[in-house]
Structure formats: C-alpha cells, structure tokens
C-alpha cells in the first residue's frame, strides 16, 4: 500500500497509479459517483501539489473548471470529505481559500477491489513486490476487549442532512455512532432544518451539547440553513 509521498524518482509512476486507480474505480460506479471521481481527478491534475500534499483552490475557480455553480461545488467537496478522500488542512477564511490534503491511503483502500482489472503488474506495484499477507492468527483479540466499530453511513447527497451526517462521521465516528446516527430528517421550514431523535433524553442531549456540531456540518452543505432543531418523537 502506498504510504510515502509521491516524490523522487518514482513520483511520476505513483501519480499515474493513483489517477489510474481512481479512474478505474469510477468506471465501476453509478453515474453520480463517476462524475464525482472525474471532478476530483480534474482537480488533482490541475491544482494538486504532490510534494506538499496540498490542494488549495477557491470554490469560484472550481465552479468554472467543473462548469457548475458554487453550491454544487460545496456539495461535491462535502461528498469527497464524507468519503474521507479529502481532508481539510486549513479552513478557509476571508481572503484565504481552504487547503485540502488527499487521503491517499483511504483512496487506495477504497479502490483496491478494481486494481486487478488494470493488470497484475499494477496490482503488485501498489501492494508492494513480494509483500506477504498479514498473519492474523497471533492477533486474536478477546471478545470482551473488542470495540464495536462505527460503520460509515452511505454517503447520501439527496438531502442536506444525508450528506451532513456523513461529514460528522468522517470527523468524529464515536460521537456519530452514539448520538448522530439515529437522528432522522423530519422536514425543512424556510431556513430551519428539523430532526427527530429516538427519545426525549436523546433530543435534549443533542440540542444542548451537539447542536453546534450538527449546524456546522449542515451549513457546509447548505449555507442557507440558519438553525437545526432537534425534537423528540411524537
């Protein structure tokens, strides 16, 4: 698995391998994800700094490049973050664009099922020549010590909350599993988004302690929302 920066004598090979992996993965996906991967590949080839692992480009420039509006850019970049393919290195501010990093390990992990379609040489190059499969027989964890994993939700771009909850999971899987996963979208009234919690206590805790987290994630997808209201079930 690729774990080093793509610099030096092997830099060009590694760069093409990453783009090949993403492109092959895209061609095995539904149309929406194909377009998302194509847009990412365009950003990588046009603006990504491999030496610094940095993508710094404004939404207006991305919108021109993709031939879309800035609202679409915001949602598509949120999808890439929710997939953990992009990581925010420095949040944008007035006069300064957001800086992203490519999560190469996650990208290669997600695209690994299609490596063999490119060819055995490609697959071996990414895995590593002569790499031995990990011996898990000596790493059995007792059941009482095992931690229940937090499963990532399917990235759902059909609603602002569907995408926002994936962003929260990418940033804080434990808190997502405990408090956010069971919140359901009720409705949107004007600039307010209403969510329903599974119990009165759950609704009170989220409204008291996690409202800012929910609102921040939602506004990254749709800045027109001013408030997130969490209610108990009726």
Considering the chain, what is the average pLDDT of its residues? 84
Q: Which residues pair with 87 in a beta bridge?
A: 101
Q: What is the average pLDDT across 82-102?
A: 88
- Helix, strand, coil fractions of the chain, as percent rounded to 5: 50, 15, 35
Evaluate whether 49 touches 89 at the Cβ level (below 8 Å): no
What interhelical angle do 120-127 and 11-26 show, nearest 10?
120
Q: Which residues pair with 188 in a beta bridge?
A: 193
Q: Identify the pLDDT of residue 170.
A: 87
Does this model's pTM top 0.85? My answer is no
Task: Say how far apart CA 1 and CA 104 lie, in whole Å.
Answer: 10
Fold match, 11-127 / 160-231: no
Token couple for 43:
């950003």
Fold topology of 160-231:
GMP Synthetase; Chain A, domain 3 (3.30.300)
Q: How many Cβ atoms from other residues are within 10 Å of residue 69's Cβ?
A: 10
pLDDT tens string 13-35: 688 999 999 999 999 999 999 99
pLDDT tens string 163-187: 999 999 988 888 999 999 999 999 9
**Domain 11-127 in this protein, CATH class:** mainly alpha
Domain locations in the chain as residue ranges: 11-127, 160-231
Q: Identify the pLDDT of residue 12.
A: 59
100 pLDDT above the threshold of 90: yes
- 104 burial level (CB within 10 Å; 0-12, 13-18, 19+): buried
Return the sign of the alpha-carbon dihedral for residues 62, 66, 68, 74: negative
Give the model's confidence band at 94: pLDDT under 50 very low, under 70 low, under 90 confident, else very high.
confident
Alpha helices in 5-144 (DSSP H): 11-26, 31-47, 59-66, 70-82, 104-111, 115-118, 120-127
Of 125, 102, 130, 95, nearest to 112 by C-alpha is: 125
Secondary structure element (H or E) that encloses residue 194, with its range: strand 192-196
């Amino acid at each position: 698995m690729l774990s080093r920066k793509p610099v030096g004598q092997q830099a060009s090979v590694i760069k093409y391998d990453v783009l090949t992996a993403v492109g092959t993965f895209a061609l095995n996906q539904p149309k929406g994800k194909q377009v998302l991967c194509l847009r990412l590949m365009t950003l990588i080839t046009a603006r990504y700094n491999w030496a610094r692992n940095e993508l710094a480009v404004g939404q207006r420039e991305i919108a021109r490049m993709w031939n879309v509006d800035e609202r679409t850019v915001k949602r598509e970049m949120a999808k890439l973050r929710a997939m953990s393919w992009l990581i925010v290195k420095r949040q944008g501010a007035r006069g300064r664009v957001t800086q992203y990093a490519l999560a190469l390990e996650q990208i290669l992990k997600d695209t690994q099922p299609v490596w063999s379609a490119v060819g055995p040489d490609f697959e071996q190059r990414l895995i590593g020549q002569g790499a031995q499969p990990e011996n898990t027989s000596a790493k059995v964890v007792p059941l009482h010590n095992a931690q229940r994993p937090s499963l990532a939700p399917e990235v759902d771009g059909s609603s602002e909350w569907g995408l926002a909850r994936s962003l929260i999971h990418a940033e804080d899987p434990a808190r997502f599993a405990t408090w956010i996963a069971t919140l359901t979208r009720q409705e949107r009234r004007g600039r307010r988004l209403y969510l329903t919690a599974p119990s009165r206590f759950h609704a009170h805790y989220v409204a008291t302690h996690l409202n800012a987290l929910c609102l921040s994630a939602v506004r990254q997808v749709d800045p027109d929302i001013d408030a997130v209201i969490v209610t108990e079930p009726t």
